[in-house]
Amino acid sequence: MTDESLFAAAVAIGSSSERRAYLDRACAGNPALRQEIDELLAAHAVSNPLDHPPADLARTGAYAADDGPPAAAVGDRVGPYRLMEQIGEGGMGLVFVAEQTEPVRRKVALKVIKPGMDTRQVVARFEAERQALALMDHPHIARVLDAGATPEGRPYFVMELVRGLPITDYCDQQKLPPRERLALFVQVCQAVQHAHQKGVIHRDIKPSNVLVAPHDGVPVVKVIDFGVAKAVGQSLTDKTIYTRFAQMIGTPLYMSPEQAEVNQLDVDTRADVYALGVLLYELLTGTTPFDGDRFRKAAFDEIRRILREEDPPKPSTRLTSLGETLTGVSARRGTDPARLAGLVRGELDWIVMRCLEKDRNRRYDTAAGLAKDVQRYLIGDAVEACPPTLGYRVGKFLQKNKAAVRVGSAFVCMGLGAVAAGAYLAVQAKRAEAVAERQRLVAEQRSQEAEAERAAAVLARNRAVAALRTSTDDVVEKLIGSKAALGAAERAYLDAALARWQEFAATEGNGEQARSIRAEGFVQVAKLRYRLGQRAEAVEGYRAALAEYATLVADHPGTGDYRHKMADVHQMIAYRLFATARPEADRHWETCHALLRGLTAEFPSAPEYWESLVMCIGGMPDPVRDAADPQWRFREQATIYRQLAGANPGDPRHLVSLNRALGGLAHALAERHDDEGSIGLRRDQVGVLERLVRLDGKNPEHRRELAGVHRELWYALRRTGNALEAERHYQASLAVRGALAAEFRDEFGDRASLDDLRAWHDGRVPPPRSVDGYLKTLAAAEETARAYPGIPFHQLRSVQSNLFLAEALLDGERFHDALEQFELAAARHQEFAAAYASPTYAELLGARIERGLGRAYAGLRIRPAAEEHLRKALDVFERRVAAGTDGFDRLDLGRAYGAYTLLLRSVNDHAAALPWHDKEVAALTAVWDKEPNRPGKQQLRDALWYRAMTLHTLGQDDRAVPEWDRVIDLTPAGEKARPRANRALSLAAAGRVDEAVAEVAAVLAAPDLITAKFTVAGVYAIASSKVPDRREEYAARAVGLLREWGRAGWHDLRTLRTDPDLAPLRGRADFREVLGEVERTAPPPREVTR
C-alpha cells in the first residue's frame, strides 16, 4: 500500500481507537512510516479548525496535550479577558465566549491555540487566520478586535462574538422563501468579494462558516473561520506554512476541482466562486450537488475523480428527483412542491451551474459578478448566466467520445484492402452516427431556444405584472392609504394604475398563465376602484376574479395556490359588503373559512395557509361563528397554534403565537370574572414559555414574557385565596427578572420590572390601588434614576411613579397628600420633558398630571384652581381625539370630564354637573363600542353610576332608573346589591313604590356589602312618605336597617343628618336613638359612597 493510500484509509476511520489499531497493524516494523502518517493526520486535522479531530491526534509539537501546560478553561483569565463559555473546538484552537471589562464592557469570542499544538506549522496557520481577519473590515465578516499570548506563550486572538445559526439552518428554521434566501446569499457574496479584494481566498466556504443572526429583527450574515485561507500576492504571516503531501485543504463537498488537486498552488478566487455555487445549490434544494454519503465512503482519489469528471444535476432536476422528501423541502421554503421546481428551473439553474463549471474560466470571474447576477434575477432583469451553447455541447460530446474516433482512425491506417474496406465502413458508420448526433443536438438546441423564447415572453409578462403590483401596492398602501381624502394627484395616479391593470385583466387566452394573470388583474382593478370610491364596481371586479379562480381550481385541483387566492378574494368581498349586505358578507366569510380549513388539512406543513386561516378567524364578525362565546376567536386560534406547535416542535414561531393566543384568552376570561379558566390558561402559558426558553434560550424576550405570566398568576392566585401557589409564582417571576437584570445591565426595562415586582409584593396589595406598593415603586424608581442620572427613561419612570402614587392617594380621598405628589410629578415632568424620546407622549403625560391636579383641587373644593388645571388637560385630550388618535386619548378625555363632574358635585352644583356627566359617558361609551373586549370597562360603569346619582339628586328619577339598569348589566354577579338598591331608591322616588319594595327584598337576600342596607333604608323612608297606609311599617324597617348599619361600624353622622332621602324619619324618636348611638361610638367622619 502506498503512503498516500495508507493515509486516505486512516482518514476514513472515524474512531480514534480503531484508527490507532489499524495503523499499529499497517505500520508494524516501520516506525518512520508511522511517524509520517501521524504527522499527515495532524496536519489534515488543522486544515479545518471547526472540525473535531480525535484527541490523540492533537500531538504535533514538542510535547503532547496531556504533558504540557493545561488547556484554557472556563473561568480562566487570558489577558484582560475572562473565559465564560466554550463554544467551539477545532483542530488547532479552542473558541470561548469571553467577557472584557476594560476599557469597555462587552462580550467577545476568543480563540486560543491548544496546548501541544504550538508547532511552527500550526502557529503559522493560526497567525495566518488572525492576519486574514485583521486585513478585513466588512459588516458581513467577523472582525478581529485584539491579539496576544497567554503566560504559557500560546497565541490567541479576539473577535467580535457572533451568535448565529448556519445559513441553511437559519433559512430552514425561519421557512424563508427562495427570494429571501437569495437576498441573504448576496450578503455572503459581498463578504467573500471583500476578502478577495484584500488578497485573501477563504477556501472553506460552507454553511457552518456562514452564520446568520437577527439584529433588530433583520437577519445579518457573518462569514467566519478563515483558518485555511490563502493569500494572493502577499503573505499572511512571516512563518512558513507547508501544505503536506496529499493534504486536502477544505471540505470536499464544497471544493472546486482544482482545489482537490494534490498541489493547490494554482487555486485562485474562482475556487470560492465554486463553493458559493454549492452553497446556493443547497439553499435552493436542501442538498449538495454531489451526494454526501457517497463522498464519505469514497477514497480521496475517487473524490478527485468525481469533482474533475462528473457533472452534478441541475437544481431543478435534483428537486424533481427528491421524491417524498420534496414536500418537507418545499415547506421549509414556504411554498408547495409543484411551484418550487418551477421557480428554480431556468435562470436560477443557469446561475448555479455557471458557478459549478469544471473549467474555472467559464465561472463568474468574481464573487461580485455572481452577486450582481443574483440581484438581476431578484429585480427581474435578464441574467448574464445562460445555458451552454450548441458548439460547446458538441465539443463536449466529441471530447467524451474521442476513443471511438481514435479507433476509426486506426482502421483507416491499416492499408490492406479488405481491412481498409472494413475500416472505411466503420469510419462511415461513425461519421453517420456523429452527424445524427449533431443533428439531434441542433434540433434539441432549436427546441430549447424556442422554449426559451416562450419562457422569456412569459417571464417578461410576469415581471411586468410584478413591477406593476409592487408600484401599485407601495403607493396605494404607503402613500395614498394614509390620507383621509384623495386629491387630484392621487386620483390621477390611481386612474393610471387602473388603466394598466385593466390591460392585464383583458389578457386573452385560456391557458393557465393567461387566466392567472387575468384573475390578478381583476383583483387589482377591484382594489383600485374601491379606493376611488367605486364600491359597487369594486365588488363586481372581485366576483370576476372569483370566476377565473374557480376555473383554475377545477383544472388544477391538487394545487393549493389558487384555492388560497380564492379564499383571499372571498375575504375581501366580505370586508366590502359587511356594512351594506351583511347576509352575503357572512356567506363569503364562511366560504373563506371553509377553503382555508380544507387547505390546512390537505397541506398541514404550509405555514401561509395556517396564517391566512388565523387572519380569517380574526376578521370574522361574532354572529358568523358563535355570538354566545365572545372568546371563540382566541379558542380557535389557540387550537390551531397547538396543532402547529405539535407538528413542528423545533419551530419557536408557533409557540410564540400559541402563547399570544392563550394570553388573549386568559385576559378575556379574567374580564368576565372566570378566574378558574383564566388561571388554567396562564398555567398553560408557563409551560409553553418554558419550552420556548429551552428551544430558543438566546432570545431574552421569552424569559421576560415568562416572568410576566408568573406575575399575572401571582396576582390572580392571591386574589382567589391560593396564597401558597401565588407565592411560588412570585418567587419564579423574581428569579427570572433578577437573572435578566443581572445579564442585561444596560436594559433599563429589566431593572424597572424587577423594582416594580419587589415593591408590589412588599406592599401586599396588587398594584392598581396600593398606596404602600406605589410608595415602594417610587422609592425604587428614584434609586434607579440616581444610579443612571443621564438616562431620561429612568427620570420618566420617577414621574410616572409620582403620578400613580398620587392617583392612588386620590382614590383614598387623601387630597392634600395627592396634591403634593401631583405637584412633584409636574415639577419633574417640566424638568425632563424635553429629553423624552416621544414629544407626543410628553404632552400626554403632562395632560394627565394636569387632570390629576384638577381632581385634587376639586376634592379640596378649591374650584378656581381645579377648573384651571382641568381646562388645560381637556384642551390636550379634546385636540388629540379630534385628530383621530387611539382609544387611550378618548379614555383620558372621558376621565377628565369625570373629574369636572367631581368638582361640580363637590360644591353641590349638580345641575351644572349633568352635561359633563353626559360628555363623560359619551366618551367612554365610544371607547368600548369600538373595542368591546377592552379591559377596564368598570370605568364606564362608574360614569353611569354617578350620572344616575346626579339624576336622582335632581329629582329626575324616571331617567335614573334605565341608567341603573345599565349599571347593573356592567356589574359582576356577586356585586349587584348596591346598584340594585340604588335602582330601588329611584323607583321609590319616582312613585313606583311596589316595584321598589320588590327590588329591595331581593337585595336584602343577597350577602352583599353592608352599605347597601343604608340605601335600602332610604328606599323604605321614601316609601313611608308615599304610602300612608304602610307609613309605620316602612319607617320602622328603615330605622331597623340604619341601626344594623351603624352597629356594623359605619358612623357617617353628616349623611344621617342631611341625606334628603331620610327626611321622613327625622321626627321619629327611634331615629333619634339611632343618631345618638352612632354619635357616641363615631370616629372621625366618613362619608357613604353609594
For the cut 90, the answer to whether the pLDDT of residue 299 exceeds it is no
Return the pLDDT at 952.
Answer: 92
pLDDT in tens, 137-181: 788 888 878 888 887 778 888 888 888 899 999 999 989 999 999
The secondary structure of the chain in percent helix, strand, coil, rounded to multiples of 5, reads 70, 5, 25
**Whole-number percent of the chain with pLDDT over 90:** 19
* Bridge partners for 200 per DSSP: 231
pLDDT in tens, 194-243: 888 877 888 889 998 899 988 767 788 999 877 554 444 443 433 333 33
Return the pLDDT at 888.
Answer: 61
Return the pLDDT at 421.
Answer: 53
Q: Which cell goes with 819?
A: 396634591
**pTM more than 0.85:** no
Among residues 853, 780, 845, 776, the alpha carbon closest in space to that of 815 is found at 853
For the cut 60, the answer to whether the pLDDT of residue 1087 exceeds it is no
Return the pLDDT at 703.
Answer: 85
Task: Decide which of 925 and 439 is more confident.
Answer: 925
pLDDT in tens, 797-823: 778 778 888 888 887 788 898 899 899
User: How far is it, in rounded angstroms, from Cα 299 to Cα 10?
Assistant: 10
> Which of the four pLDDT bands, split at 50, 70 and 90, describes residue 793?
low
Return the pLDDT at 1051.
Answer: 65
The burial class, CB within 10 Å (0-12 / 13-18 / 19+), for 632 is middle
Return the pLDDT at 489.
Answer: 58
Taking residues 671-679, report their average pLDDT.
80
Taking residues 98-103, report their average pLDDT.
81
For the cut 80, the answer to whether the pLDDT of residue 313 exceeds it is yes
| Contact (CB, 8 A) for 406 and 423 | no
Amino acid identity of residue 622, one-letter, is: D
Distant-in-sequence contacts of 805-810, Cβ < 8 A, 24+ apart: 805/771, 805/774, 805/775, 805/777, 805/778, 806/852, 806/856, 807/852, 808/769, 808/770, 808/771, 808/774, 809/771, 810/852, 810/855, 810/856, 810/859
| Contact (CB, 8 A) for 244 and 287 | no
Which range among 175-184, 238-247, 389-398, 526-535 shows the weakest confidence by mean pLDDT? Answer: 238-247
pLDDT in tens, 542-554: 898 899 899 888 8
Mean pLDDT of the chain: 76
Task: Decide which of 275 and 499 is more confident.
Answer: 275
Amino acid identity of residue 66, one-letter, is: D
Which range among 836-840, 958-962, 978-982 shows the weakest confidence by mean pLDDT? Answer: 836-840
Q: Which CATH superfamily is domain 47-160 in?
A: Phosphorylase Kinase; domain 1 (3.30.200.20)
Active-site residues, by number, are: 204
Phi-psi region of 558 (alpha: psi -120 to 50; beta: other; left: phi over 0): alpha
* Arch. (CATH architecture) of 165-386: Orthogonal Bundle (1.10)
Return the pLDDT at 12.
Answer: 55
> Which of the four pLDDT bands, split at 50, 70 and 90, describes residue 7?
low
> Which of the four pLDDT bands, split at 50, 70 and 90, describes residue 64?
very low
User: How far is it, in rounded angstroms, from Cα 614 to Cα 635?
Assistant: 11
Task: Decide which of 519 and 311 is more confident.
Answer: 311
Q: Which cell goes with 78?
A: 487570558
pLDDT in tens, 886-921: 556 778 888 889 888 888 888 888 999 999 999 999
Return the pLDDT at 48.
Answer: 35
Q: From residue 994, give the alpha-carbon distance in Å to each of 320, 967, 984, 1041, 1065.
A: 84, 21, 10, 19, 20
Return the pLDDT at 133.
Answer: 64
Amino acid identity of residue 767, one-letter, is: P
111 is in an annotated binding site: yes
Return the pLDDT at 413.
Answer: 45
Task: Decide which of 416 and 149 is more confident.
Answer: 149
Return the pLDDT at 60.
Answer: 30
Task: Decide which of 777 and 462 is more confident.
Answer: 777
Task: Decide which of 520 and 479 is more confident.
Answer: 520
Q: How many CA atoms lie within 13 A of 716 on its CB side?
A: 23
Question: For residue 544, which phi and psi values (nearest 5 degrees)?
Answer: -65, -40
Q: Which cell goes with 713?
A: 398568576
Which range among 64-73, 167-176, 678-687, 783-792 shows the weakest confidence by mean pLDDT? Answer: 64-73
Residues with Cβ < 8 Å from 584, sequence gap 6 or more? 577
> Which of the four pLDDT bands, split at 50, 70 and 90, describes residue 991?
very high
For the cut 50, the answer to whether the pLDDT of residue 932 exceeds it is yes
The string of DSSP codes covering 524-558 is: HHHHHHHHTT-HHHHHHHHHHHHHHHHHHHHH-TT
pLDDT in tens, 1017-1073: 999 999 999 999 999 999 999 899 888 888 876 667 788 888 899 999 998 999 999
The burial class, CB within 10 Å (0-12 / 13-18 / 19+), for 375 is middle
Residues with Cβ < 8 Å from 978, sequence gap 6 or more? 1008, 1009, 1011, 1012, 1015, 1090
For the cut 50, the answer to whether the pLDDT of residue 501 exceeds it is yes
User: How far is it, in rounded angstroms, from Cα 1079 to Cα 1090?
Assistant: 21
Which range among 508-517, 689-698, 713-722 shows the weakest confidence by mean pLDDT? Answer: 508-517
